[in-house]
Amino acid sequence: RNSRIIDRKIKSTDSSRCILKLLLSFCGNVMCLKSSFLSFYSFTQKYPPVKFLSEKDRKRILITGGAGFVGSHLTDKLMMDGHEVTVVDNFFTGRKRNVEHWIGHENFELINHDVVEPLYIEVDQIYHLASPASPPNYMYNPIKTLKTNTIGTLNMLGLAKRVGARLLLASTSEVYGDPEMHPQNEDYWGHVNPIGPRACYDEGKRVAETMCYAYMKQEGVEVRVARIFNTFGSRMHMNDGRVVSNFILQALQGEPLTVYGSGSQTRAFQYVSDLVNGLVSLMNSNISSPVNLGNPEEHTILEFAQLIKSLVGNRSHIQFLPEAQDDPQRRRPDIRKAKMLLGWEPVVPLEEGLNKTIQYFSRELEHQANNQYIPKPKAARMKKGRPRHN
Ligand SMILES: NC(=O)c1ccc[n+]([C@@H]2O[C@H](COP(=O)([O-])OP(=O)(O)OC[C@H]3O[C@@H](n4cnc5c(N)ncnc54)[C@H](O)[C@@H]3O)[C@@H](O)[C@H]2O)c1
């Protein structure tokens, strides 16, 4: 009887061991699942690779307008170089999506703030890009464009003075207005209509430059001024009526590519990564006078249309519309100063940049189609009642 009892005990101990083992293996599996889930989660949370910089080399950098087209690419570069980046944007034309891949990173901060209001933070460098840049955007609310470029720039210069930061102003080739001199070098004073529809932007940027040099002379603030020429690339606004975005949209949607006049007018476009490299090297240089950043390689509008049509590879045809009388015939930067003093020049070939932009636009079209919104290319911008190429 005793041996039977011992047998039963042994069996019951065996079965408890079994249950215990089962429980343990179940827990093990749960732990395994949990750790796989965690590693999957951290995998999905992965950020682009970031260099490690020592405390001495790591800078605290503010980018106003950092959620916009150029600003978000600049954010990528400075983050990947290992700096601490604070983006300030009021999301007028910028989008969180442009910088979402950095959200949560220990070196990154995004602040929803309008530069027309003062800002108090501690930084070493300020890239001041906040301003609508395309004509439909800056003409939408000219008073706000003026405030952003004047009061906004004063606020950022005030901040630079307070914390001893260096400020780089994203100025524009539009300070040269409708130029009487080709190509335009930095000594040209420009030909701007102070009361025309573009004046809110052109004159706003001219005053912003004036403010930079007043703060430099009177308060000793270190300033850098980049006069940026036409730039294109991913994250640019799809329907802002500019020639590159219009042609790409038209070609992707199988619509005719609209060329005003014979298409013999020339334009020069730089790819956004070239501009970003130029901005960073200007910021870190000792050149305080204005520097042109643009691609001097000129192409006719017709060449652009044909190239984009062939890169997209569909059957859209080119449609010629009546010539615009005051469409500038040539626009081209003189970049000898940037070459000589910064050792900078654009390196991305037009076709390569266009291919990347076309890929981005088609992904965006898909994304927007899924959200029931199909952007239409805008008619070329009107000037004196006539359309023209931007
Ligand atoms: N893209 C070009 O071809 C070009 C050419 C010449 C100069 N620029 C200059 O470069 C800068 C960036 O241009 P972009 O093409 O990236 O334009 P963008 O419109 O994509 O970016 C501008 C950013 O500034 C933000 N912004 C506007 N007003 C603001 C305010 N009051 N407070 C805070 N944020 C504000 C917008 O929301 C946006 O994110 C601009 O200053 C523009 O004048 C651009």
Angstrom distance (rounded) from CA 192 to CA 206: 10
Q: Which atom of ligand 1 is nearest to the CA of 91?
A: 37
Q: Is 132 in the pocket of ligand 1 (CB under 6 A)?
A: yes
Please give the average per-residue pLDDT across 77-100, as a whole number.
Answer: 97
| Per-residue model confidence as pLDDT tens digits over 300-344 | 999 999 999 999 987 889 999 987 655 667 779 999 999 999 999
Residue 177 C-alpha to ligand 1 middle, in angstroms? 18
Model confidence at 370, pLDDT cuts 50, 70, 90, reads confident
- Closest protein CA for atom 7 of ligand 1: 172
Q: Which amino acid is at 89?
A: D
pLDDT at 385: 45
Whether ligand 1 lies within 6 angstroms of the CB of 152 is answered as: yes
Counting Cα atoms < 13 Å in the Cβ hemisphere of 265 gives: 20
Nearest residue CA, atom 23 of ligand 1? 65
Whether 207 and 148 have beta carbons less than 8 Å apart is answered as no
CB 241 within 8 A of CB 379: yes
Contact 67, 89 (CB under 8 A): yes
Phi-psi region of 177 (alpha: psi -120 to 50; beta: other; left: phi over 0): left
Identify the residue whose tokens are 């800056």.
138
Q: In the prediction, which pLDDT does 35 show?
A: 46
With a 6 Å cutoff on the Cβ, whether 69 touches ligand 1 is yes
Determine if ligand 1 sits within 6 Å of the CB of residue 130: yes
Q: How far is the CA of 134 from the centre of ligand 1 (A)?
A: 8
Give the position, in ligand 1's atom list, of the atom nearest the Cα of 174.
6
- For residue 22, give the H/E element and its range: helix 2-44
Active site residue 127: no
Residue 316, pLDDT score: 85
| Residue whose CA is at the smallest distance from ligand 1 atom 18 | 68
Residue 224 has pLDDT above 50, yes or no: yes
Q: pLDDT band at residue 178, thresholds of 50, 70 and 90?
A: confident
Separation between Cα atoms, residue 189 and residue 74, nearest integer Å = 28
Of 153, 150, 335, 134, residue with least CA distance to 227: 335
Report the nearest-CA residue for atom 27 of ligand 1: 131
Q: How far apart are CA 300 and CA 233, in angstroms?
A: 19
Rounded to the nearest angstrom, the distance between the alpha carbon of 89 and the centre of ligand 1 is: 10
Res. 118: pLDDT tops 70: yes
- Provide the 3-class DSSP secondary structure of residue 195: coil
Decide: 65 in ligand 1 pocket, CB within 6 A: yes
- Average pLDDT rounded to a whole number, residues 50-70: 96
d(CA 113, ligand 1 centre) in Å: 14
Q: For the chain, what is the mean pLDDT?
A: 88
Q: Do the beta carbons of residue 95 and residue 69 sit within 8 Å?
A: no
Q: Out of 127, 138, 176, 201, pick the active-site residue.
A: 201
Q: Longest C-alpha distance within the chain, in Å?
A: 117
The closest residue, in CA terms, to atom 26 on ligand 1 is 130
pLDDT band at 53 (very low <50, low <70, confident <90, very high): very high
Instruction: Using DSSP bridges, classify how beta strands 299-300 and 266-267 pair: parallel, antiparallel or unpaired.
Output: antiparallel
pLDDT attached to residue 37 = 44
**How far does the centroid of ligand 1 lie from the alpha carbon of residue 381, in Å?**
19
pLDDT at 96 over 50: yes
> Sheet containing 60-64: which strands, arranged edge to edge?
108-112, 84-89, 60-64, 125-128, 166-172, 223-228, 291-293
334 CA from centroid of ligand 1 (Å): 23
